Structure 1
Amino acid sequence: MHDRPFRGNTDEIDDLIRQYEDLRAGRKSSFLEEESFEILIEYFNEKNSFHKALEITETALDYFPYSGDLFVRKADLLVAIHNYTAALEALKQAEFYDHDNIDIYILKTDAYLALDLPQKAASLLEEALLIFEGDDRLDLLFELADVYDDYEDFDKVFDCLVLILKQEPANEEALYKICFWTDFTGRNEESIKLHQEIIEDHPYSELAWFNLGSAYQGLKLYEKAIDAYQYAVAINDKFDYAYRNMGDAYIRLRRYKDAIEVLEKVGEITRPEDVIFEAIGHCYHKLGKFASARFNYRKASHINTGDSKLQYKIALTYINEKKWDKAIVHLENALRIHKNVPEYNLAMGQCVLQLENYKDAVHYFSMVVRSRPKNVRGWKALITCLYQSEYFEEAIQQCITALKLTEGKPLIHYLYSAVLFAAGKQKEALMQLEAGLKKSPALVKSFVDLNPSILQNSFVVDLLARYRKSKRKK
């Protein structure tokens, strides 16, 4: 219903309540005007005394039985106490006396939705759109958008917002909402056209420029998106969401210095946020400025202490600098928060392997393959670690398991071959090498990298030469 602000001071209310109670008790000949009843109804409604307000409404209808407005008020109160069927009955009466009251349609919609009849609510509002104009029509379109949202017809939500903006291009509520629904429905092209039309008549609407940029960004047209966001912040230099999205667009274009500049602007105009510091850290990381990246990741981590990913990212900056001990400290922090994340265990395994702590490395790599048994990367790390620590029999068993779980990925054949050669099982090793060559010759480098001296083995050289020759003939 339209808001009906309470009208009345305390003295007036007290007087009206006394008159009402006298009227109810029949203590003296007292009479209340319809407006007085309405003031009392509003008063108790605002105090959430719905049953008292409903009692007063029923009494008022005894004196003014042809008042459409009182029936609407009755229905509003019945909706508030969840008596939806009775509310619909009251609205039938209201419609008979006051059929062009928009509150009737809005309350009917509320009742239908509460009774899980969203399509009936939608049909009612669609009919009402043919009756009402101006602000009333806008109210109905917003109601209809909510109904479509309720039964998940999301394209129609978008359509309602378009109709609102066609009627009132500067409507801020619709401009805010259509940005979300454009992204949700993927109707970026339509949004671009709509906002271009709005901008023609309202060139200083920062929301229209922002929505235009967001739609371009949805189509991965990042340069155009940035241009639109720049217009938005030229109109409103405190428009932090435009800076945020602009920063994201610059990151997509790998223009990290530009991204840092606009993301730092966000920090100047809003309270500190972990996601902004993390994004700035990411940019410095990509630029190879690991100390600056760490500085911003740490800022983010101080705000969001429970985010294990930030500890992991700090560790990665140390890994890039080959500072294994320092990386381990932050990976331990990350694993304390989330111990089974494969990426964390993989990084920890790589760090302790660099420190020649093979036993712990095997433990961490085993955690990775346990979490992602079909992922070749984890198996490569585990088998390579076992190979380097000369646990050849264990490496052979892991290769056999890996071949089953990865459904014979070619990289595993190469690793298996290298392990078999190291274990002195040349015949089986050559068979696995050939299997790998048949599936993916390009991955032979992984085999050679494990033991470059293997190229001194004449059988290996002959097999590689024979395979290359057969490929040339084909």
Structure 2
Amino acid sequence: MRLSHDEEENNLSLSKFESMLKTNKVFFFDSEEFEDIILHYMDTGRMNLAKRALKLGLEQHPKSTGLRLVQVEMLVYEDKLDLAERLLQELYAIEPTNEEIYIQQAQIHSKRDQHEKAIETLKLALKYTDDLADVYSMIGMEYLFMDDLEKAKDYFILCLEEDDQDYSALYNVVYCYDFLEQNEKAIEYLESFINRNPYSEVAWHQLGRQYYALKNYEKAVWAFDYATIIDDTFLGAFMEKGKSLEKLKRYEEAIESFKTTIELDDPTSFALLRIGKCYERLGNREKALKYYHKTVHEDPLLDKGWIAITDFYIRQKNFQKALYYVNKAIGIDGENSFYWKRYAAINEALNFYEEAELGYRRAFESGDINLDTFILWSNMLQFLGEFENGIEILLQASDVFPDEFEIEYRLAGLYYLLGENDKGKFHLSNGLRLNFANHTILEENFPFAWGSEEVQAQIEKFRLK
């Protein structure tokens, strides 16, 4: 790739400067060359070289405002804000119309979390700058810091009106729309932007993302298609297109799109996982499993890959293998309630009730407070003969789900099993009152209690009301 004239000049200046340092010879550079050298070293994090270049630059050009401003930038970078501000005041006395003085002053205000002052100062810079786009973008960033996304969005849009190639500003505009949940407005803006810049693959990609957020997957595919036509190496657009096609159940096309991302770059575990899911939905179990294994080979720490294999074997009712793979997922993320719930269900299918009880307990401890988790957990405790613990779990559940017939019928059954008939009668009465039609829960789960004359009399009495 050919370098631009400016890049070639900059590289020559850097080589000349580094040669000077090695030989201890003193070469002359004009002040702008020194500015470029210093900023290059600052951008690449080599502050010692930046400071040496600044020192030599000021020795050769002691009156250079540009070098003094670079010195201010360095002081701001190092959080020496008071010293930077004093130097700016001196420079302001010499060149009050230099926009860079206002920009650096704004940076100082921003570092002090004085974002309103930074905005006021940047608005003064607008009077003197030739680069309106850059200053508009800075004002937008200050509004972002203040969480004023409406105004931030307006200034990023102004930036794009001055420079429609500033894709960081375009991303920021879309970010603001996303945060404000204004997907329709984002689409309107992006369509107007594309009318002016029809070959902007970034804009087409962002348009596709907005349609995807609105679940308009057909339109999303249409937009991602344009992004990939403009740039046939746009990995992100192929990935998003694949996701949209998958939502439309166009699995073969989705696979092609995901495979393109693998051809463009090293395979990602996400793409491999999605390909596996698509093959499974097409009924090609062999290829699905092959890609699931490729996923975990590519990223052995990707718990979602292991859980995909787990779910594959659950669907095949091969619970022994499912148990092996769910343990892999739990080994990576032991705080994931969904994984513990799968672990419990698999062990329950294998009649390993103690392990199943552990799974439901760990799911609860990891934040799962769904009604079915409480019920399944209490079922396991019942199988294990731990009736008191089952009651304790269901009483906790009733705090979260008051007036829930599923809980009341089970509490009634467990109390009857313990011979605490008064409590059993109380909870049976609650269940019958809340949902009489489902009183067969007692018959299905507690046949001993169901066969009691007292229970049948209570049900019959309620039926006749």
- 1:89 — aligned with what? 86
- 1:384 — aligned with what? 379
- 2:105 — aligned with what? 108
Kept after mapping to 2: 8 A contact 1:58/1:74: no
Structure 1 residues 456 and 296: alpha-carbon distance in aligned structure 2, compared to 1, 3 A threshold: farther
**What do residues 43-75 of structure 1 show as CA deviations (whole Å, max 9, x unaligned)?**
56747445555555655676x4xx544543443
For residue 221 of structure 1, report the CA deviation from its aligned partner: 3.0
- 1:395 — aligned with what? 387
- Helix, strand or coil: the match of 1:203? coil
Q: Partners of 2:100 and 2:322 in 1: how far apart? A: 64
Structure 1 residues 347 and 39: alpha-carbon distance in aligned structure 2, compared to 1, 3 A threshold: closer
Q: Which amino acid aligns with 1:313?
A: A
Q: Partners of 1:11 and 1:173 in 2: how far apart? A: 32
Structure 1 residues 347 and 228: alpha-carbon distance in aligned structure 2, compared to 1, 3 A threshold: same
Which residue of 118, 127, 131 corresponds with 2:124?
127
- 1:118 — aligned with what? 115
For residue 137 of structure 1, report the CA deviation from its aligned partner: 0.6
Kept after mapping to 1: 8 A contact 2:72/2:104: yes
Structure 1 residues 179 and 100: alpha-carbon distance in aligned structure 2, compared to 1, 3 A threshold: same
Which residue of 319, 339, 343 corresponds with 2:314?
319
Structure 1 residues 77 and 328: alpha-carbon distance in aligned structure 2, compared to 1, 3 A threshold: closer
Q: Which amino acid aligns with 2:72?
A: A
For residue 423 of structure 1, report the CA deviation from its aligned partner: 6.4
For residue 252 of structure 1, report the CA deviation from its aligned partner: 4.3
Kept after mapping to 2: 8 A contact 1:57/1:73: no
**What do residues 84-142 of structure 1 show as CA deviations (whole Å, max 9, x unaligned)?**
33323333343444344332233222232233332221111123224434xx1111122
- 1:25 — aligned with what? none
- 2:339 — aligned with what? 344
Q: Which amino acid aligns with 2:391?
A: C
Asked whether 1:235 is paired with 2:200, we answer: no
Structure 2: 5+ residue runs without aligned partners? 1-5
Structure 1 residues 262 and 329: alpha-carbon distance in aligned structure 2, compared to 1, 3 A threshold: same
Q: Which amino acid aligns with 1:111?
A: I
Which residue of 387, 391, 398 corresponds with 1:406?
398
- 2:3 — aligned with what? none
Structure number with greater Rg is 1
TM-score (norm 1): 0.78
For residue 215 of structure 1, report the CA deviation from its aligned partner: 2.0
For residue 268 of structure 1, report the CA deviation from its aligned partner: 3.0
Structure 1 residues 370 and 437: alpha-carbon distance in aligned structure 2, compared to 1, 3 A threshold: farther
Structure 1 vs Structure 2: percent identity of aligned residues? 24
Across the aligned residues of Structure 1 and Structure 2, the Cα RMSD in angstroms comes to 3.9
**What do residues 172-216 of structure 1 show as CA deviations (whole Å, max 9, x unaligned)?**
333344344433333323321222112223322222211222222
Q: Partners of 1:282 and 1:441 in 2: how far apart? A: 42
Q: Partners of 2:436 and 2:267 in 1: how far apart? A: 51
Kept after mapping to 1: 8 A contact 2:387/2:418: no
Q: How many residue pairs get matched?
A: 448
Q: Which amino acid aligns with 1:101?
A: N
Structure 1 residues 416 and 284: alpha-carbon distance in aligned structure 2, compared to 1, 3 A threshold: farther
> Equivalent residues in 2 for 1:17-28 (5 A)?
none
Kept after mapping to 2: 8 A contact 1:274/1:301: yes
Q: Which amino acid aligns with 1:294?
A: L
- 1:187 — aligned with what? 182
Asked whether 1:300 is paired with 2:292, we answer: no
TM-score (norm 2): 0.79
Tell me which moved more, 85-94 or 37-46: 37-46
Tell me which moved more, 249-258 or 218-227: 249-258
Kept after mapping to 1: 8 A contact 2:344/2:360: yes
Q: Partners of 1:245 and 1:155 in 2: how far apart? A: 27
- Helix, strand or coil: the match of 2:199? coil
Which residue of 425, 428, 432 corresponds with 1:433?
428
> Equivalent residues in 2 for 1:10-409 (5 A)?
10=16, 36=30, 39=33, 46=41, 48-56=48-56, 59=59, 64=63, 68-133=65-130, 136-253=131-248, 256-285=251-280, 290-372=285-367, 374-388=369-383, 391=385, 394-407=386-399, 408=402, 409=404
Q: Partners of 2:364 and 2:38 in 1: how far apart? A: 65
Tell me which moved more, 256-265 or 9-18: 9-18
Kept after mapping to 1: 8 A contact 2:72/2:88: yes
For residue 273 of structure 1, report the CA deviation from its aligned partner: 0.8
Structure 1: 5+ residue runs without aligned partners? 21-31
Q: Which amino acid aligns with 1:310?
A: G
Q: Which amino acid aligns with 2:110?
A: L
Kept after mapping to 1: 8 A contact 2:303/2:329: yes
